[in-house]
Structure 1
Amino acid sequence: MGSFSIWHWLVVLVIVVLIFGTSKLKNMGKDLGGAVKGFKEGMKEAEAEAKAETKPAQVAEKKAEDVVDVKATEKKEA
């Protein structure tokens, strides 16, 4: 009762095709594909910007690791 069989999905598909028509479904599929492609390109650009912003910070961290912290004191004459 809770799950649908393949026949239920076929009936739904036939009803959707009858309501919208194949040309409208084709256009909707093309628009959806274009939106997904644009989203993926935007994500790649955002990742590239994030990598470009984090590079200088990583270099600064690396330089900080190479530095030895020493406490300087004055020499007292006895």
Structure 2
Amino acid sequence: MGIGGISVWQLLIILAIVVMLFGTKRLRSLGSDLGSAVKGFRKSMSEDNDSAEKPAAKPDPAEPRDEQNK
């Protein structure tokens, strides 16, 4: 038995049908587009985590606070 009750032969038949429908060039470009999208997503997630880990900027002591202005 394969994945979820689908045998290896059934997966190969589905793969052959997909290749016949779309062609290898289109599948290759689709795969590279998907890979670059995942890479960009991971990069943005790591940048978001890096910015969250940085401490907040300290307030400038020369600037008066809101409480002092009231």
TM-score normalised by the chain length of structure 2 = 0.72
RMSD between aligned residues: 1.1
Query: What are the superposed Cα offsets for residues 42-70 of structure 1, whole Å, 9 maximum, x if unpaired?
Result: 01100001101xx35xxxxxxxxxxxxxx
Q: Give the corresponding residue for 1:34.
A: 36
Query: Displaced runs of 4+ in structure 1, greater than 3 A?
Result: none
What is the rounded CA distance, in whole Å, between the counterparts of 1:42 and 1:22 in structure 2?
30
Q: Give the corresponding residue for 2:47.
A: 45
The count of corresponding residues between Structure 1 and Structure 2 is 53
Query: What are the superposed Cα offsets for residues 9-56 of structure 1, whole Å, 9 maximum, x if unpaired?
Result: 00000000000000000000000000000001001100001101xx35
Structure 2: gaps of 5 or more residues: 57-70
Q: Give the corresponding residue for 1:11.
A: 13
Provide the identity percentage. Answer: 45
TM-score normalised by the chain length of structure 1 = 0.65
Q: Which has the larger radius of gyration?
A: 1
